[in-house]
Amino acid sequence: MADEVVKKKGAMSVSEAGRKGGQTVRDKYGHSFYEEIGRKGGETVKAERGRSFYEQIGKKGGDTVKAERGAGFYEAIGKKGGDAVKAERGTPFYEEIGKKGGHKVRQLIEEGKKAANEAKPVAAREEDVPSVGGEVLPAASEE
């Protein structure tokens, strides 16, 4: 009979015990508790190791998955995710985000051109007109 007690006591594996404890915590504090402690832990790691740490471990993980499953795996999961979004939100969603992306690209191009123009020296700006012989003549002054 003493052997039965020992078997019952040691019958649960470590993973089963962890799962049981996790379910107890979830039932007591709710799902949002895990979100909160995960966020706090992430902020602590970011403060200690910096953003580059996440880039580094993300690349390691991506390289491992690529080595195990091949580059085609990413194509497959991308298509699967795109199909799921299309089924959930429909094609108008893609039209909307495409327009937003196009507007953002146009804005960034304009800002880039403006910054590049402001960075040019005065002699190289559009006001200076090259003559027929190739020499640059200063623009007429606005006096």
Q: How many angstroms separate the CA atoms of 41 and 38, rounded?
A: 5
Residue identified by tokens 């937003």 is: 100
Q: CB-based burial of residue 65 (10 Å sphere; 0-12 exposed, 13-18 middle, 19+ buried)?
A: middle
pLDDT number for residue 86: 92
Residue given tokens 């191009």 in the structure block: 109
Structure tokens at 73: 């795996």
Confidence class for position 57, pLDDT limits 50, 70, 90: very high
Q: Mean of the per-residue pLDDT values for the chain? A: 84
Which residue's entry shows tokens 């085609």? 72
Going by pLDDT thresholds of 50, 70 and 90, the confidence category of residue 118 is confident
pLDDT at 121 over 60: yes
CB 110 within 8 A of CB 118: no
> Which residues on neighbouring strands pair with residue 133, listed in sequence order?
none
Taking residues 14-25, what's their average pLDDT?
92
pTM metric for this prediction: 0.40
Q: Is the pLDDT at 25 greater than 80, yes or no?
A: yes
